[in-house]
A and B are shown apart, each in its own frame.
Chain A
Amino acid sequence: MLTQIHAALVQMGVKPVAATLPEDGSPLLGTAAAMQWSLEIAPNLFAELSLMRTSGEDHLINLVTASESAHDERYWSDVDLFAREMGKAVRPVQLIRNDAELACFVQGRAKGVEGLIAIMTELLAMNRFALITLFEPWIDLARGQVDLETAGLQAGAALAQQSAGDR
Chain B
Amino acid sequence: MSAYLELSARAKQELEAAGASVNELELEAARVLAWVERWRAVPLGQDVQSDWAPIDAIVSFADGMQAGQSVRMRLSLLLADTMPDLEGHPHWVAFAQALASKFPPVVIEIEAQSSRLSLTYEQLLYQGTEPQVTLYCEKLAYLASVVLPAAMRIRLEAWTLDDMRNLAQQVLNEALTLGYQQ
Instruction: Number of B interface residues at 8 Å Cβ cutoff, please give it.
Output: 34
Q: Are B179 and A122 in contact (CB under 8 A)?
A: no
Q: Are B126 and A121 in contact (CB under 8 A)?
A: no
Contacts of B109 in A (CB 8 A): 84
Instruction: Number of A interface residues at 8 Å Cβ cutoff, please give it.
Output: 33
C-alpha spacing A42/B106, complex, angstroms? 27
Q: Are A111 and B128 in contact (CB under 8 A)?
A: yes
Q: Of the candidates B69, B101, B123, B176, which one forms a contact with A107 in the assembled complex, judged by CB atoms under 8 Å apart?
A: B123
B113 to chain A, nearest CB (A): 14
Q: Is A105 positioned at the interface, with any CB of B under 8 Å from its CB? A: yes
C-alpha spacing A45/B101, complex, angstroms? 21
Q: Of the candidates A29, A91, A96, A110, which one forms a contact with B182 in the assembled complex, judged by CB atoms under 8 Å apart?
A: A29
Q: Are A107 and B182 in contact (CB under 8 A)?
A: yes
Given contacts A108-B124, A109-B126, contact A97 B67 (CB under 8 A): no
Q: Are A94 and B107 in contact (CB under 8 A)?
A: yes
Q: Are B180 and A29 in contact (CB under 8 A)?
A: yes
Chain B, residues 97-118, CB within 8 Å of chain A (1/0): the string is: 1101110110101000000000
Within 8 A of A (CB), among B82-109: 90, 93, 97-98, 100-102, 104-105, 107, 109
Contacts of A27 in B (CB 8 A): 176-177, 179, 181
Q: Are B100 and A96 in contact (CB under 8 A)?
A: yes
Q: Of the candidates A84, A92, A115, which one forms a contact with B126 in the assembled complex, judged by CB atoms under 8 Å apart?
A: A115
Contacts of A105 in B (CB 8 A): 104-105
Contacts of A97 in B (CB 8 A): 97, 101
Stretch at the interface among A55-63, A130-138, A147-155: A55-63
A137 to chain B, nearest CB (A): 19
Contacts of B8 in A (CB 8 A): none
Q: Is A106 positioned at the interface, with any CB of B under 8 Å from its CB? A: yes
Within 8 A of B (CB), among A91-136: 91-92, 94, 96-98, 105-111, 115-116, 118-119, 121-123, 126
Q: Is A20 positioned at the interface, with any CB of B under 8 Å from its CB? A: no
Q: Are A122 and B70 in contact (CB under 8 A)?
A: yes
Q: Are A118 and B126 in contact (CB under 8 A)?
A: yes
Q: Are A123 and B124 in contact (CB under 8 A)?
A: yes
C-alpha spacing A157/B105, complex, angstroms? 27
Residue of B nearest to A120 (CB): B126
Q: Is A21 positioned at the interface, with any CB of B under 8 Å from its CB? A: no
Residue of B nearest to A58 (CB): B129
Q: Is A28 positioned at the interface, with any CB of B under 8 Å from its CB? A: yes
B95 to chain A, nearest CB (A): 12
Q: Of the candidates B70, B101, B179, B180, which one forms a contact with A96 in the assembled complex, judged by CB atoms under 8 Å apart?
A: B101
A-B contact pairs, 17 of them (CB 8 A): A27-B176, A54-B132, A56-B135, A77-B90, A80-B97, A92-B72, A92-B122, A96-B100, A105-B105, A108-B126, A109-B123, A109-B124, A110-B125, A111-B129, A115-B69, A115-B128, A118-B126
- What is the interface of chain B, defined by CB distance below 8 A to chain A? 65, 67, 69-70, 72, 90, 93, 97-98, 100-102, 104-105, 107, 109, 122-132, 135, 176-177, 179-182
Beyond the given pairs A107-B182, A118-B70, 10 more chain A to chain B contacts, judged by CB atoms under 8 angstroms and listed by A's residue number, are A27-B176, A28-B179, A29-B180, A29-B182, A62-B182, A92-B122, A105-B105, A111-B128, A119-B70, A121-B67
